[in-house]
Chain A
Amino acid sequence: MITIEGLTFQYKNSNRNAVEDVHLSIRGGDFLGIIGESGAGKTTLIRAINGIIPHHLPGDYYGSVQIDGEDTFDVTPSAISLKVGTVFQDIDSQMIASVVEDEILFGLENYSIPRDEIEARLSGALDAVGISQLRYRNISHLSGGQKQKVAIAAIIALRPKILLLDEPTSELDPQSSLAIFRLLKELNEKHGLTIIVVEQKIMLLSEFVKELAVMKGGRLLLHGSVRNVLKNTEQIGKSGINCPRVATLSNRLTELGVKLDGVCVTLDEACSMARRLMYD
C-alpha cells in the first residue's frame, strides 16, 4: 500500500540528510510504530508520506514514496490527504475552529462533500472516536486528550485509508496517552485503518502496535514485529531509545541462563512467563 524506495531528503539550509536511503513497505491494515531519538528522521518520514515533503517544504529529494502505486511527488497534497490523514503533535495549533462540530466540518466543506452526506460523516467520525457527547463543546475547554481525539475525528471524517500520527501523546498524561492508543487499536482492528504512529513512549508502542521501526541518524535501523525488534537489546541501546523493562528483564533472564520462548513485550506476558518459570 505504501512503498518507500531509497528515500533521501535534505532540508533547504541544512547540511545533512534528514532521512537517508530509507526502504520501507507498509501493507494495508498495518499498525506501525516508529521510534528513535530526536533528529532521527521520524517526522521527516511522516512528512514524506503525507506529501508535505516535497510539496510544502523544499529540499533535495531522492527516491520515491508510492501510495497505492501513485508517486506522492506527482500528486497534489490535497489529493494525497484524501488517502492519508495526519494528526500532529502540537494540539492547539492544529485546530482551526472553536467548537468541535466546526472542526470536523472544516475538512468536509473544503473537499465539497455532498450536503446530504455530511451529517452522516460528521456523526460517524464523532462516534468512531467516542466523542459524540462533545459535539457542541468549546474546544478550548477540553482536556488535551479530548482535543487530540477531536483532531483524529476531523481526519477520520475524510475517510482516509491511512492515518499518520506524529507524537500524538507528547503533551498528554499517561491515562490520556493510553486512551489514544486504545482508540488507535480499535480504529485499526474495527475499521481496518492503516496506522503509522511516531511515538517516544516505548511501552505504549510495545503494548499496541503490530510492527515497530527504529530510526537513527536518518536511517531505518530495525523494522519488524515488535517482538523481533525488541530482541536486539544492544542495537536498541545504541539507537538512544529504551526497551520496555519487561523486555530488558526477559533478555537479562536469557543471559542468566534461563530458557525462554521469546522476549516479553508486555506486562501480561512477563507475568505469565514468570508464573510458568515458578509453578506448574
Chain B
Amino acid sequence: MINVENVSFTYQQECTLKGITFHIDRGEFVALIGSNGAGKSTLSKLLNGLLKPASGTVTINGMDTRKTKSSTLARHIGFLFQNPDRQICKNTVADEIRFGLELVINDKALVQQRLDSTLQRFGFNPDSNPFQLSRGERQRLALASIIAAEPEILILDEPTTGLDYSECTQIMNTINELNSKGVTVVMVCHDMEVVLDYARRILVLSDGRLLADGSTKEIFRAEEVLHKASILPPQIPQLALRLGQGFENAFTVEEMAHSLVARTRPQFFEVKEDAI
C-alpha cells in the first residue's frame, strides 16, 4: 500500500532524511515518533506527495509520487494537519465539507449523499460558522471534511496538539473507528500516551534516519532506542521498565494494577486476599 524505498530528502542544503526504507500494509495504524527536527513532518509530507524525494521512491498503491499530481494522490490519501485553520476556508460547515468532497468526487448526487452522512455522523449543524466553533470543533470539522471523501489512507500530523483531553479522545476515537474499517493510518505524534493507546506499530526517527521499526509494545520496551531518540515513554511502560522482571506485559493501568497486585505482600491488603 505505502512503499518507501531508500528515500532521502534535502531541504535548504540540509539533509533531513537519509536512506529511509519501510513498507506499510492496508489497515495498519502506524505512529511516526522522534524528537523535533528528526524528520517526522518531512516524512509525512513525502507520503502524500507534498514533497518529492530527492532520491529513492515513494509509491502509494503503485503510484510513484514523483510522477503523480498531488490532486490525484489526494483522492487516495487524506491529510489532517495540526492547525485546522489552514484548511477551513468556507463560511458554513456544510460548504466546507462539500468543498472538500467536490475536489475529489465528480458525481453530484454522491457528493450530496456523503455530505449528509458526514453531517449526521459528526452531529454538526450544517449552517454554523466554522470560525465561531472552538478549536477542538474546528479540528473535528477539518477531519470530517477529509474523511467524507473516504480516503484509503489517512495521514495525521500531530492531530491532537493544542486540544484538551476530551477533544483529543473524540478525534482519536473517530480515527480509530476508521482504522478498524480498514483505513490505513499514519500518525506523527508527540503525545506518547496517545501513541500507546492507538498505534499498533511505531517507526522511530532520529536525525533523519529510521532508528527502529516495530510493534508499539516492542518499541516502548526498547530502552536503548528510546534513549537514543530522546523519547520519554508513557508512564506505565516506563514504570514497567523501572520495575524490571515480571512487568514485561504491563502497558495499561489495568495490566499494571494486576501485575502489582499479584506481587504485593499480604500485609498491604485491607481485607483477605480472596476478596480480590
Contacts and interface: CB of A to CB of B under 8 A. Distances in A.
Contacts of A253: 257, 260-261
B260 A274 contact: yes
B166 interface: yes
A7 B108 CA distance: 53
A258 interface: yes
B243 A258 contact: no
B165 to A, nearest CB: 5
Interface string B144-168: 0000000000000000011111110
A106 B271 CA distance: 65
B15 interface: no
Contacts, number: 104
B161 A257 contact: no
Nearest to B35: A175
A37 B190 CA distance: 20
A277 B163 CA distance: 37
B263 A277 contact: yes
B193 A245 contact: yes
Nearest to B38: A173
Contacts of B263: 277-278
Contacts of A256: 257, 261, 276
A207 to B, nearest CB: 10
B270 interface: yes
Contacts of A144: 36
Given A246-B239, A253-B257, A256-B257, A38 B136 contact: yes
Given A274-B260, A278-B264, A257 B270 contact: yes
A29 B167 CA distance: 33
A258 B268 contact: yes
B234 A200 contact: no
Interface in A216-250: 240-242, 244-246, 248-249
B265 A278 contact: yes
B190 A259 contact: no
How many chain B residues sit at the interface, stated as a range, is 35 or more
B89 interface: no
Nearest to B134: A38
Interface in A157-188: 167, 170-171, 173-176
B164 A240 contact: yes
Nearest to B166: A240
B127 interface: no
A259 B164 contact: no
B242 interface: yes
B151 to A, nearest CB: 27
B161 A170 contact: yes
Interface in B218-276: 230-232, 234-236, 238-239, 242-243, 253-254, 256-257, 260-261, 263-265, 268-271, 275-276
Contact of A277 (B167, B239, B268, B276): B268
Contact of B270 (A240, A259, A270, A274): A259
B45 interface: no
Given A143-B36, A200-B165, A241-B165, A258 B261 contact: yes
A16 interface: no
Contacts of A259: 268-270
B234 A170 contact: no
B269 A258 contact: yes
Interface in A34-49: 36-39
Contacts of B261: 253, 256, 258
A16 to B, nearest CB: 13
B75 interface: no
A43 B236 CA distance: 31
Nearest to A250: B257
A252 interface: yes
A245 B36 contact: no
Query: In this complex, which of A240, A241, A258 has the most chain B Cβ atoms within 10 angstroms of its Cβ?
Result: A258
Nearest to A145: B36
A240 B70 CA distance: 39
Given A38-B136, A171-B161, A277 B260 contact: yes
A37 B167 contact: yes
Contacts of B234: 245
A38 B134 CA distance: 8
A15 to B, nearest CB: 13
B239 A270 contact: yes
A249 B256 CA distance: 8
Nearest to B262: A278
A236 B243 CA distance: 28
Contacts of B260: 249, 253, 258, 274, 277-278
A271 interface: yes
Interface in B132-187: 134-136, 161-167
Interface of B: 35-36, 134-136, 161-167, 190, 192-193, 230-232, 234-236, 238-239, 242-243, 253-254, 256-257, 260-261, 263-265, 268-271, 275-276
Given A170-B162, A258-B261, 5 more contacts: A38-B136, A38-B164, A174-B231, A175-B230, A245-B234
22 contacts: A36-B164, A37-B164, A37-B166, A38-B135, A38-B136, A38-B167, A170-B161, A170-B162, A174-B190, A176-B36, A240-B165, A240-B166, A244-B235, A252-B254, A253-B257, A253-B260, A258-B260, A267-B235, A270-B239, A274-B260, A277-B263, A278-B264
